[in-house]
Structure 1
């Protein structure tokens, strides 16, 4: 049995990277790999544990077919390494930090993916974005408006996306993530014999 792709989305500042880091030990127990994204941004930038490359190197990797999924957002290129296909074929589950705007293309390639959107209360998100001080106030307001799109009930239902709220304690969010995965049949390390 091939593994399942877990496609985690959410606005910047929602806490995806923090949740992924906290979830890694539990995900390993479930036979789930966490894909490390390739991103075009400077090595000085703060954020997720990603492999950062130049725009030119990103383009070379894309042309070589090094990415299972890739997209552009917020002026950056994002790539999910093609290695995930090998993991999935081996029966491993794979969690990727995905993009809302790329969900339909990802679903075309991986029809059985589990789509999860991490949302957060607008005021909590505003405080997080202000604390991390990566953007000016107008950029923060734009992100807050985009955040509201992630919680749109019609979009969630139409796209069959599970909403995961991260406005409270990280441990609560982690437990709910694991419950979502159990509900989708990911509850034990796949048998690799």
Structure 2
């Protein structure tokens, strides 16, 4: 059963963008920048691949365990891509409902699922020029140059649908993109209701 969104003072910020755009790098920088602020939480995704596969900090599980947890209602959002299963833990809903800013690495194909689960959703679309994407993907050494060129030809950097979207171009210096992301999250934090007076 899919979770139903409830009105909340918090916000889910789902980060999307093509491979090589720098989503993981920017999210790690944001986690470090706001590490001392309990109002902001960066999600650790559940993915059906080994935990030592590298890249983002995630919880690796097998398909059987993933399906068990999905059936138990442990996930706020789940989807499939590139032969893998991905999920956002259920406590992300609880954090947003409690008035926190929650940041999650998502997928453009799953945005409708995020929209159903969270009443306040901001899509942070990280993009980069095709030349920069090609350079970064080639440096990873996972695909041939021909495969990369075909991937980029198929790729679309836009976000389709009725969403609140903020786009950051991460083609240039990383510190500029980090500053842009930090400013966005800082603005969202500033909009949170002030805590009431102590009894």
Q: How many matched pairs?
A: 188
Kindly indicate whether residue 190 of structure 2 is the aligned counterpart of residue 187 of structure 1.
yes
Deviation at 1:75, TM superposition (A): 0.8
CA distance in 1, matches of 2:74, 2:40: 21
SS at match of 1:161: strand
CA distance in 2, matches of 1:47, 1:72: 18
Kindly indicate whether residue 143 of structure 2 is the aligned counterpart of residue 140 of structure 1.
no
Deviation at 1:137, TM superposition (A): 3.6
Counterparts of residues 149-168 of structure 1 (less than 5 Å): 149-150=156-157, 152=158, 155=159, 159-168=163-172
Query: Which residue matches 1:172?
Result: 176
Moved over 4 A (4+): 155-158, 188-193
Mark the CA change 1:27 to 1:114 in structure 2 (over 3 Å): closer, same or farther.
Answer: farther
For structure 1, the residue ranges without an aligned partner over 5 or more in a row are: none
SS at match of 2:13: strand
SS at match of 2:56: coil
Kindly indicate whether residue 43 of structure 2 is the aligned counterpart of residue 35 of structure 1.
yes
Deviation at 1:165, TM superposition (A): 0.7
User: In angstroms, what is the RMSD of aligned CA positions?
Assistant: 2.3
Greater helix percent: which structure? 1
Mark the CA change 1:39 to 1:71 in structure 2 (over 3 Å): closer, same or farther.
Answer: same
What is the TM-score when the length of structure 2 is the normalising length?
0.84
Larger Rg: 2
CA distance in 1, matches of 2:43, 2:105: 8
